[in-house]
């Protein structure tokens, strides 16, 4: 009897242990913070700036843990609180480096806090001011050398920031950097300018119509004729800062259209980087729109379309994209956003580009389909050279603009710059057109 009891206990113990082993899920890390691609990408965008002290991992993961996917108020509150904590640290810190870094972190968190707010949300102005104030105060505390430039543009003005390079930068090309559909001029410091300065380059960042403060404070919407704002920026800058070297224009995200478009019309631009490619805006904007939507529109079922727009299923990414599109293009109809993208194509102008071209792309880009790389390459019939780099998932650079893998795409960029413009050019200074 005792033996059977002991045997039974042993069997039960084995069964319990076996059940626990078999039933317990494998403890494996998850590379995603949100199942939703848009929320996950924007979280990675904040993490991306850690390398240039634009964030701390614990700050960021703490904020992420408070956010429900699709809840813009959660997003705003979590990142605003993270920004406020960083500002409090800056206010109570005497060490200049710690104070400056805290201010730059606050800037990044405030920038992100605004992202999912509807265009008419009154909180935009408040958090935008916090974002901008923290950024420039941070640069000042850290003694970063920069110059803010106001550029005449008709009855308005554009803005630029010049980061002079160290001794020897005059022997390297001037890097001019512009963002895209939702970029801010200030975040370009983290994405390109700081890394370029470490490598001895001078950098000029700028914002045009539809971007940053130009949109928020002056109400100027995007223009597909991007050679106009770029030309105005270069005219103003070169009048006081003539450069003896080449000019390379880098366009981020939708800047992958804006920069090549400007390079097609401005002979002062010797090289252009599409980071990432953005060859055909209308194809990008409509690739996930069901075909029946266009049928309804062609047959003037406007009421049905409005009903679907207001009551149909929406994912956070498409909702944000349409809201942002109405804001940056200055239209009041979600379907007008699709039409607004039509002139944003390089098909008819890419052949005018005669300089060197670097095309970057991510294999998992959720904005821009990979087939646009091939279309862009084939259209560059007069470029001096065309270099293309597609980053896969395993490399870490598969996301749009290689977000989260800055060191990866920087290695490609700066190798390309050294290869194409490594030898000092003895040409006369580049001035206005």
Can you state the angle between helices 123-141 and 72-91, rounded to 10 degrees?
30
Same domain, 222 and 360: yes
Q: In degrees, to the nearest 5, what angle opens at C-alpha 150 toward C-alphas 146 and 156?
A: 155
**pLDDT, tens only, 187-200:** 999 999 999 999 99
**pLDDT, tens only, 324-348:** 999 999 999 888 899 999 999 999 9
Rounded mean pLDDT, 384-388: 98
Same domain, 264 and 225: yes
Q: Which of 78, 109, 139 is the last residue of a domain?
A: 139
pLDDT class of 427 with cuts at 50, 70, 90: very low
Q: Which of 270-274, 339-343, 396-400 has the lowest mean pLDDT?
A: 396-400
Same domain, 295 and 383: no
Q: How many CA atoms lie within 13 A of 104 on its CB side?
A: 28
Same domain, 220 and 120: no
Domains: count for the chain: 3
Q: In the prediction, which pLDDT does 24 show?
A: 61
Predicted TM-score (pTM) of this structure = 0.90
Same domain, 135 and 266: no
Rounded mean pLDDT, 268-287: 94
pLDDT at 291 over 70: yes
Same domain, 322 and 359: no
pLDDT at 317 over 80: yes
Rounded mean pLDDT, 363-378: 94
pLDDT at 425 over 50: no
Q: Which of 110, 139, 168 is the last residue of a domain?
A: 139
230, 203 in Cβ contact below 8 A?
A: no
Q: Judge whether 378 lies within some domain.
A: yes
Q: Judge whether 275 lies within some domain.
A: yes
pLDDT at 275 over 90: yes
Same domain, 77 and 219: no
CATH code for the domain of 134: 1.20.1440.110
Same domain, 320 and 360: no
Q: Which structural domain, as residue segments, surrounds residue 107?
A: 37-139
**pLDDT, tens only, 133-160:** 999 999 999 999 999 999 999 999 999 9
Q: In the prediction, which pLDDT does 90 show?
A: 97
Question: What is the C-alpha separation between 260 and 226, in angstroms, rounded?
Answer: 9
Q: Judge whether 31 lies within some domain.
A: no
pLDDT class of 18 with cuts at 50, 70, 90: low
162, 240 in Cβ contact below 8 A?
A: no
Same domain, 157 and 300: no
Q: Which of 117, 139, 161 is the last residue of a domain?
A: 139
Q: Judge whether 6 lies within some domain.
A: no
Q: In the prediction, which pLDDT does 17 show?
A: 57
Q: Judge whether 9 lies within some domain.
A: no
Decide: residue 101, CB within 10 A, 0-12 exposed, 13-18 middle, 19+ buried. Answer: buried
pLDDT at 3 over 70: no
Question: What is the C-alpha separation between 345 and 9, in angstroms, rounded?
Answer: 74
Same domain, 271 and 395: yes
pLDDT at 19 over 60: no
Q: In the prediction, which pLDDT does 68 show?
A: 95
CATH code for the domain of 150: 3.40.50.1820
């Amino acid at each position: 009897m005792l033996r059977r009891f002991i045997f039974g206990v042993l069997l039960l113990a084995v069964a319990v242990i076996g059940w626990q082993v078999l039933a317990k899920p494998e403890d494996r890390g998850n590379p995603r913070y949100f199942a939703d691609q848009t929320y996950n990408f924007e979280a990675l965008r904040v993490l991306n700036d850690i390398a240039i002290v634009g964030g701390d991992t614990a700050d960021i993961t703490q904020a992420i843990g408070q956010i429900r996917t699709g809840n813009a108020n959660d997003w705003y509150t979590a990142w605003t609180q993270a920004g406020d904590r960083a500002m409090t640290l800056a206010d109570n810190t005497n060490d200049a480096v710690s104070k400056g870094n805290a201010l730059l972190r606050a800037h990044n968190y405030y920038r992100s806090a605004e992202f999912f707010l509807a265009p008419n949300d009154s909180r935009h102005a408040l958090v935008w001011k916090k974002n901008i104030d923290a950024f420039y105060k941070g640069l000042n505390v850290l003694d970063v050398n920069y110059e803010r430039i106001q550029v005449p543009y008709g009855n308005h003005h554009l803005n630029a920031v010049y980061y002079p390079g160290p001794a020897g930068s005059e022997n390297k090309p001037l890097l001019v950097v512009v963002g895209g559909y939702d970029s801010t001029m200030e975040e370009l410091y983290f994405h390109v300018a700081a890394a370029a300065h470490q490598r001895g380059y001078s950098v000029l960042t700028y914002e045009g119509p539809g971007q940053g403060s130009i949109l928020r404070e002056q109400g100027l919407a995007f223009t597909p004729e991007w050679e106009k704002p770029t030309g105005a920026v270069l005219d103003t800058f070169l009048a006081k800062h003539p450069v003896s070297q080449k000019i390379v224009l880098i366009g981020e995200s939708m800047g992958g259209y804006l920069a090549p478009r400007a390079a097609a019309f401005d002979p002062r631009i010797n090289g252009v980087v599409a980071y990432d490619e953005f060859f055909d805006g209308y194809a990008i904007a409509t690739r996930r729109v069901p075909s029946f939507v266009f049928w309804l529109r062609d047959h003037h079922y406007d009421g049905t379309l409005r009903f679907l727009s207001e009551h149909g299923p929406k994912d956070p990414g498409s909702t944000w994209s349409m809201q942002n599109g109405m804001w940056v293009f200055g239209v009041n109809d979600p379907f007008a956003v699709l039409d607004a993208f039509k002139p944003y194509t390089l098909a008819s102008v890419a052949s005018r580009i005669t300089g060197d071209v670097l095309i970057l792309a991510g294999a998992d880009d959720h904005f821009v389909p990979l087939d646009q790389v091939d279309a862009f390459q084939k259209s560059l019939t007069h470029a001096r050279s065309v270099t293309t780099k597609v980053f896969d998932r395993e490399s870490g650079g598969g996301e749009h603009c290689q977000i989260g893998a800055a060191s990866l795409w920087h290695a490609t960029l700066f190798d390309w710059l050294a290869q194409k413009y490594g030898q000092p050019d003895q040409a006369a200074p580049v001035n206005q057109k």
